[in-house]
Amino acid sequence: MEEEKLREEMNMKKYSCLAMLTAVILLLGGLGAAQAKILPPYGEGQIGLQAVVLCETLTVRQEPSALSPALKTLAYGTRIIVQPQTGGWAQCFLSDSEDEGPAGWVNEDYLAIDPAWYQTEGKTPVYAWNDTMAPKVALLDENTILPILKEEEEWLVVSLRGAAGWIQKTDKD
């Protein structure tokens, strides 16, 4: 009788350990892949394409030249409307209203023009490169929206305050 009770206790412990191990595996598996939405590019609007500033500060100039007088400084993440031009400069508008007219010129190298957007649906890790074993460079909050710079198989490269990071795509993307 006592041997049977001992066997029962051992089985209960074994099942408890298996249940805990399964829960831990499921929990860790859920941390690797983020839940998100991919928002498509907006396309051409009334006067041009939407763009977002990718560097800490971007100078709006009077003419399409680095030597031209500065008119305004835009911060990282500022959304503007542009009409791309040749020579690496874009005429920019600070609103989608034709009445306001152009604000000046910006260097296209520091913009993401008409990007798709990544919107998180929960805490989302951002990695230094496309590997979940890579160092995490950020942990995004729910409803964070970032421009997508590049898509590579199961990974997205997004802009993070002047740098880039990698986010693993999910089946919901």
Q: Is residue 75 located within the same domain as residue 24?
A: no
Name the average pLDDT for the chain: 82
7 lies in a domain? yes
pLDDT tens digits for range 75-132: 999 999 999 777 999 999 988 777 788 899 999 999 999 999 999 999 999 999 999 9
As a whole number, mean pLDDT of residues 13-38 equals: 45
144 lies in a domain? no
Q: Is residue 109 located within the same domain as residue 61?
A: yes
Q: Is residue 103 located within the same domain as residue 55?
A: yes
95 lies in a domain? yes
Domain carrying residue 89: 49-113
pLDDT at 4 over 70: no
- HEC sequence for the chain: CHHHHHHHHHHHHHHHHHHHHHHHHHHHHHHHCCCEEEECCCCECCCCEEEEECCCEEEEECCCCCCCCEEEEEECCCEEEEEECHHHEEEEECCCCCCCCCCEEEEHHHEEECCCEEEECCCEEEECCCCCCCCEEEEECCCCEEEEEEEECCEEEEEECCEEEEEECCCCC
pLDDT at 69 over 70: yes
19 lies in a domain? yes
**Number of domains into which the chain is organized:** 2
Q: Is residue 26 located within the same domain as residue 54?
A: no
pLDDT at 107: 97
72 lies in a domain? yes
Q: For the whole model, what pTM was predicted?
A: 0.73
Of the three residues 113, 143, 160, the one that is the final residue of a domain is 113
173 lies in a domain? no
Q: Is residue 56 located within the same domain as residue 103?
A: yes
15 lies in a domain? yes
- What CATH number does residue 69 fall under? 2.30.30.40
137 lies in a domain? no
